[in-house]
A and B are shown apart, each in its own frame.
Chain A
């Protein structure tokens, strides 16, 4: 096995580092001080100032190397302060001093290197300013690496070399992210704040800069948001049996590689630079496909630009069994063009397809369309019909709730089946995560006041894979914190992606329950808030701000006759196997559950009996977790806020209390 750890000796001290570590990082790890100038911890080293020079010996040969960009690949011996090294640094410092005699960082450096005579190597051009540009190039790299722009560069040669923007003019592509100023060691780049009077712009900048640095340094090894955007999740979900396939029956499919992020990146994505969806955002997660030739619809034959596809769109397509990447891009284009949500369309069509394959509906109901799983062309036909207000598309456009109610009335013998497989709650289609093996995720989706929307899909790994919230109380706590946190930063207009699609390198230092919150990134958000408003936040204050809105949403829902207990109950497909085919696909898991969790020997039971037992057990579990979540929120057993909770939050207005008491009375009568 190739060893990743390399032994080395620095100033007589033996140590080991991971192969590829830079010599400067190895030196710093031992708390040995050496001078640097062009180096910045968050930027790719470029070895231009040569002040970090050290002498290394390997196989009897000695050599001077710049430590900041020297990767350790073999065992070496290093000297950081011998006479040769010191002389070299002193000469360099004298030259810097000769040209920039008044810049504090140069004066400090010269002192450190015992270089005192500013006239010894006096430059033809002496810059007297205290914040002169010393041509270290950090700003150029920051612009390119943090923000993926190339606004700054050097022009001129030799002594006339200088920093400039293209054609010496202010480049309109500069987003004003201030990364260049942040990394400048001399203050040569000044920030002039012309904003909407934030209380503390520096606080906002400094914390924004942390995100920029993480994107530049960590994203390539983490979620690859800059490279492929959210499409990176397609293969992850498939691998973990969470990708919805055939109306959430299954969580994986052999054809997933045909629509995963590798295919999108290698053959489709042509744009991946910052698109300003959040001004100055360095994550640049939006992707686009240029020159895509459409095969159907009103723009057939046109070459168009398509924004996406993102994960949820690909998930909607796998849910319909449509594993054809050209279809995914075309579906994405027309949904966007017609103003249709790809998630709702994908989930609705998946429901229609299952009903069609099960014989609940036929071509008579679909105006002749054969809507089997994987029927890509027919899906596009339906989509075009929907936009034109004609044919079966008109019905599809009204969503799962409408269709299941309509068909149940027409064909009452299928009512239970349709209600089991119709993946909607509160009228909204479920987003594209197969949640039936995660109790917390079922509740995360179904208890969401706005319906099972995709920004509630965070508990699935914590629960199903990590098993980190095993008890009902643990789940209820997660169901309290995460939706409220989500609501809070949504209210502030902050993007979610920089919360958990990149994670600080040392997030591992937290125990799992804390790590899942990504405390440093929550703190970034609090600092953005404080920087704007001047108000300091902590977890309790943040959650209470959010809980006020959350409870008001609930009250408004109740006022409109919605958000009742029945609306918090998921279709059974979200909870467990509806069909024998599903049970069989995971029979090992379900048989084990019967034996170990329910205490029933599955051997003598028929599949139908086993499915019934699993169903009773899982729905019972769901009700328990729902009640635990209500309790944690300060709501009663019907999911209606208690008056004490309103008082705690300072929103106990008489008209709200009246709405709640009326709803409570009705709930008592109905349940």
Chain B
């Protein structure tokens, strides 16, 4: 199990990447910053960075509009 944004629980699976987490959460926003266990993951690594089990993933959406 991994925790997203200190709130949502997501079933973990082996070789799960950051991109898989974003897909599961439906996060398609363009201004996103992702950290896994407090380590910043660059955009180009989303589909190769493997998320370990029990990880704390933060998906920060920068507000725009309004």
Whether B48 pairs with A500 at a CB distance below 8 angstroms is no
Whether A500 pairs with B63 at a CB distance below 8 angstroms is yes
| Given A233-B65, A236-B29, A466-B5: A515 in contact with B60 (beta carbons within 8 A) | yes
CB of A5 closer than 8 Å to a CB of B: yes
B-contact 0/1 string along A476-504, CB 8 Å cutoff: 00000000000000000000100011010
Whether B7 pairs with A461 at a CB distance below 8 angstroms is no
Whether B44 pairs with A465 at a CB distance below 8 angstroms is no
CB of B11 closer than 8 Å to a CB of A: no
- Complexed CA–CA distance, A603 and B36 (Å): 36
Residues in A whose Cβ lies below 8 Å from that of B30: 221-224
Residues in B whose Cβ lies below 8 Å from that of A408: none
B-contact 0/1 string along A427-467, CB 8 Å cutoff: 00000010000000000000000000011111111100111
- Complexed CA–CA distance, A412 and B10 (Å): 48
CB of B64 closer than 8 Å to a CB of A: yes
Whether A457 pairs with B66 at a CB distance below 8 angstroms is yes
Whether A500 pairs with B28 at a CB distance below 8 angstroms is no
| Given A223-B64, A239-B26, A455-B66: A466 in contact with B59 (beta carbons within 8 A) | yes
Residues in B whose Cβ lies below 8 Å from that of A233: 64-65
- Complexed CA–CA distance, A3 and B61 (Å): 26
- Complexed CA–CA distance, A460 and B66 (Å): 10
CB of B40 closer than 8 Å to a CB of A: yes
**Whole-angstrom distance between the Cβ of A499 and the nearest chain B Cβ:** 9
**Whole-angstrom distance between the Cβ of B64 and the nearest chain A Cβ:** 5
**Whole-angstrom distance between the Cβ of A494 and the nearest chain B Cβ:** 15
Whether B31 pairs with A503 at a CB distance below 8 angstroms is yes
- Complexed CA–CA distance, A462 and B5 (Å): 11
CB of A627 closer than 8 Å to a CB of B: no
- Complexed CA–CA distance, A516 and B63 (Å): 7
Whether B63 pairs with A461 at a CB distance below 8 angstroms is yes
A-contact 0/1 string along B28-52, CB 8 Å cutoff: 1111010000001000110110000
Residues in A whose Cβ lies below 8 Å from that of B60: 466, 468, 512, 515
Interface size in chain A (residues, C-beta < 8 A): 40
Whether A462 pairs with B63 at a CB distance below 8 angstroms is yes
Whether B65 pairs with A501 at a CB distance below 8 angstroms is yes
**Whole-angstrom distance between the Cβ of A487 and the nearest chain B Cβ:** 14
CB of A507 closer than 8 Å to a CB of B: yes
CB of A470 closer than 8 Å to a CB of B: yes
**Whole-angstrom distance between the Cβ of A443 and the nearest chain B Cβ:** 15
Whether B66 pairs with A458 at a CB distance below 8 angstroms is yes
CB of A4 closer than 8 Å to a CB of B: yes
Closest to A507 in B: B62
| Given A5-B44, A466-B60: A239 in contact with B28 (beta carbons within 8 A) | yes
Whether B47 pairs with A1 at a CB distance below 8 angstroms is yes
**Whole-angstrom distance between the Cβ of A117 and the nearest chain B Cβ:** 46
Whether A223 pairs with B63 at a CB distance below 8 angstroms is no
CB of A303 closer than 8 Å to a CB of B: no
- Complexed CA–CA distance, A96 and B40 (Å): 45
CB of A607 closer than 8 Å to a CB of B: no
| Residue in A239, A311, A454, A458 whose CB lies within 8 Å of B63 | A458
- Complexed CA–CA distance, A461 and B5 (Å): 12
- Complexed CA–CA distance, A5 and B46 (Å): 12
B-contact 0/1 string along A496-523, CB 8 Å cutoff: 1000110100011000100110100000
| Given A233-B65, A466-B61: A4 in contact with B33 (beta carbons within 8 A) | no
Residues in B whose Cβ lies below 8 Å from that of A467: 5-7
| Residue in A222, A454, A461, A501 whose CB lies within 8 Å of B61 | A461
- Complexed CA–CA distance, A518 and B60 (Å): 13
- Complexed CA–CA distance, A455 and B65 (Å): 8
Nearest 7 interchain pairs by C-beta: A457-B66, A233-B65, A461-B61, A467-B5, A18-B44, A508-B33, A458-B63
Known: A459-B63, A512-B60. 7 other contacts (CB 8 A): A1-B48, A5-B48, A230-B65, A461-B62, A462-B63, A467-B7, A516-B63
Jot down 22 A-B pairs with beta carbons below 8 A, ordered by A.
A1-B47, A4-B44, A5-B44, A18-B44, A239-B28, A239-B29, A311-B65, A459-B63, A462-B61, A462-B63, A465-B5, A466-B58, A466-B61, A500-B62, A500-B63, A500-B64, A503-B31, A503-B64, A507-B33, A508-B40, A515-B62, A518-B62
